[in-house]
Amino acid sequence: MFPSFTMTNYFQPIGPGEWVSSPASERFDVWTRGNAGEVFPEVMMPLSFSLSWKSGEAAFRRAMSRGGATLARDFAEGPDVAVASGVFGGYSYLNLSYSRVLALRLPGATIDDVDRMFLGAANPPPHVHHRDDKSLLASARSLKAVWTVLGTSELPGLEADKKIIAQLHAQIGDVRSATDVHLRSLVDRFTYVFDELFETHLVVSSNAGLAVGALSKICKDSLDDESIAVRLLGGLGEVESAAPSYAIWDLGRLVNESPLLSAIFDEGVEHLQENLRLRANTSGVGEFNSTFAEFIAEFGSRGPNEWDTAYDTWETDPMLAYALIDRMRGAAKDHDPRLQKARLALERNTEEAAALNSLGWLNQRIFKRVLRAARLLSQGRERSKTTIVKAIHEVRLSAKELDRRVVERSGGKKGDMWFVTIDELDDYLANPASFAAVIEERTKMHKLLSSREPPFFFVGEQPSFDTWQFRDRQADPVVVGEVLGGLPGCSGRARGRARIVTDPSDPGALGPGDVLIARLTDPSWTPLFVPAEAVVVDVGAIMSHAIIVSRELGIPCVVSVTDATRRIPDGALIEVDGDSGTVTILELPDGVASEHE
């Protein structure tokens, strides 16, 4: 039986059968995992939650206020109530009600616009209108703000944020030689750094959504083809979440060019680190190790669930990166992301010229203005996200060193520190053994939460945990000839064997000629896009990570294909059409019968 399950916030002790949760707004009551699930795909740990939620909510409110559409009455429930973002049952959510209200205050925008931008083909609860939804003052301010956004030509704030990271890195220094007191203070420091950087990211991200939405609307209304907007944003370069793919591609080529390295990788990823160390002085291996060290120095902050300091990244667990290199080395030469970028640039320029030729003089000027803003802000959104991830990683390294020392002294388990809140941390560090029973209970609860899938939407109060569906549940199987609908992510058509991947560190049988199918993706998945023929994702919308990266790398992509990972069997032959947003089942694997047979 499951333990009794209730919600609590971190200002109070977390008792048996409870987990960290935010106090939720009653005024804005529709919540969604849309977009939030890409940032925090897993259950948030108590320490991570208590370090970031309040500062994150405050940053959300400030960022929204800069858009002009907010009103003081929107936050009348107080600073400790979740209005913009929240964590419920350990899972991160965004407030859909409030996003819709902001859209209603923007002249020309609709609820459908915001739903499509951030939710894709999902079927959200309807909006219940409130007398405070609209405001002439807010509409006037937001219209002025949008026009300013569409005139964006530079983003100087992002360079300033990079300096903050450099300062944080200098303050941390060598964690191995730092005192416990210094390491503990750095954990607290995270709250203040996150607060500032997150606001910048939210502003840039929101502005990117506005600009891309405006570009899509122009393409739909004036050019009769909304999909043109996707092609106009393909292969831009300087999209930082795609950058690791280039470096991993080069590492994969080093492996392919060396018979010894290839043989070492053929022995299995689980033995790689030791084998590479033992043969470090052998021709080719030394160069690989040196290049890999440079890769870690630049991209070591990336990894699954990289926003939560409890989870490993490519630096703290290099095996995660080795697994990606292993898959990349099998990719065909024509999958080189640099070749794809060049191809996309030609297509983008051709598409832009055709669009301009179809528009009148005034619409041309508006089109150019909006296109420039959409491109710059799309790049900026990923750059600001990367900056935050690097800041989180600096704190992660400090926290993991502190955790290592506690384990060494007390004999506890690695990672136990993340099962306490920031309010409990000092007591835990002073006497870890006194938290043994608490941590054991919370570990059980974490395991139970992780085995379930929280509702994608909920209204009011999150449904009880024991009503959530299991993650490994099955859905109605597909049949040969069936066409699954979704949203176009990146243009192109490709055929291949479906490979269901639930963890980027364990790509399974994914190889050349295959189609990657995932529940959702974050930047740690990006290198798996390159060797794949196409990408299909259960959820997602125009501003989702899968679309941004697939259009940068030129990989046909369809998102918002509901239950694709559960309905499509591994090994099925499928066709992905990134222009129409469809996935067609061509053949089922041996042993899986079609109902048509």
Please name the residue that has the structure tokens 């470096």.
247
Whether residue 9 sits in one domain with residue 145: yes
The Cα–Cα gap between 9 and 44 comes to 13
Whether residue 132 sits in one domain with residue 12: yes
Bridge-based pairing of strands 514-518 and 534-537 is parallel
Of the candidates 537, 530, 595, 532, the residue with the CA atom closest to the CA atom of residue 563: 537
Instruction: Using the 3D structure, point to which of 317, 338, 359 is the last residue of a domain.
Output: 338
Residues of the chain whose pLDDT is less than 50?
1-11, 596-597
* 164 to 10, 171, 190, 281, 394: CA distances (angstroms): 28, 11, 12, 38, 12
Residues for the chain: how many in total?
A: 597
Whether residue 441 sits in one domain with residue 558: no
Please name the residue that has the structure tokens 């491109």.
375
DSSP letter assigned to residue 501? -
Question: How many structural domains is the chain composed of?
Answer: 3
Domain contains 222:
no
Residues 462, 6 contacting (CB under 8 angstroms) = no
Instruction: Using the 3D structure, point to which of 277, 306, 338 is the last residue of a domain.
Output: 338
Whether residue 558 sits in one domain with residue 438: no
Whether residue 102 sits in one domain with residue 75: yes
Domain contains 103:
yes
SS (H, E, C) 223-288: HCCCCHHHHHCCCCCCCCCCHHHHHHHHHHHHHHHCHHHHHHHHCCHHHHHHHHHHCCCCCCHHHH
Please tell me whether residue 97 adopts helix, strand or coil conformation: helix
Domain contains 231:
no
Domain contains 353:
no
For residue 345, the Cα-to-chain-centroid distance in whole angstroms is 25
Q: Given 3-state DSSP classes, what are the helix, strand and coil percentages for the chain, each rounded to the nearest 5?
A: 50, 10, 35
Whether residue 508 sits in one domain with residue 465: no
Domain contains 184:
no
Domain contains 232:
no
The Cα–Cα gap between 208 and 375 comes to 8
* Residue 239, pLDDT score: 83
Written as one string, the DSSP assignment of 129-193 is --TTS--HHHHHHHHHHHHHHTT----HHHHHHHHHHHHHHHHH--TTTS-HHHHHHHHHHHHHH
1 CB-side CA count, 13 A? 4
The Cα–Cα gap between 228 and 487 comes to 14
Whether residue 20 sits in one domain with residue 121: yes
For residue 235, what are its two tokens? 């292969």
CB atoms within 10 A of CB 430: 8
Q: Would you say the C-alpha torsion 217, 223, 224, 228 has a positive or negative sign?
A: negative
The Cα–Cα gap between 187 and 178 comes to 13
Bridge-based pairing of strands 452-453 and 469-470 is antiparallel
Whether residue 447 sits in one domain with residue 327: no
DSSP letter assigned to residue 26? S
Which residue type sits at 96? L
The Cα–Cα gap between 516 and 328 comes to 13
- Expressed as residue numbers, the domain containing 441 is 1-149+431-471
For residue 92, what are its two tokens? 């991160």
Instruction: Using the 3D structure, point to which of 279, 311, 338 is the last residue of a domain.
Output: 338
The Cα–Cα gap between 222 and 356 comes to 11
Whether residue 312 sits in one domain with residue 443: no
Whether residue 514 sits in one domain with residue 447: no
Residues 480, 592 contacting (CB under 8 angstroms) = no
CATH number of the structural domain spanning residue 489 = 3.50.30.10
521 CB-side CA count, 13 A? 35
Domain contains 551:
yes
Which residue type sits at 300? G
146 CB-side CA count, 13 A? 21
* Residue 592, pLDDT score: 73
* Residue 595, pLDDT score: 52
DSSP letter assigned to residue 127? P
Whether residue 139 sits in one domain with residue 48: yes
Residues 410, 433 contacting (CB under 8 angstroms) = yes
**CA end-to-end distance (rounded Å), the chain:** 41
For residue 166, what are its two tokens? 């450099």
The Cα–Cα gap between 352 and 231 comes to 9
Domain contains 209:
no
Please tell me whether residue 582 adopts helix, strand or coil conformation: strand
* Residue 593, pLDDT score: 63
Please tell me whether residue 79 adopts helix, strand or coil conformation: coil
* Residue 104, pLDDT score: 94
Whether residue 95 sits in one domain with residue 43: yes
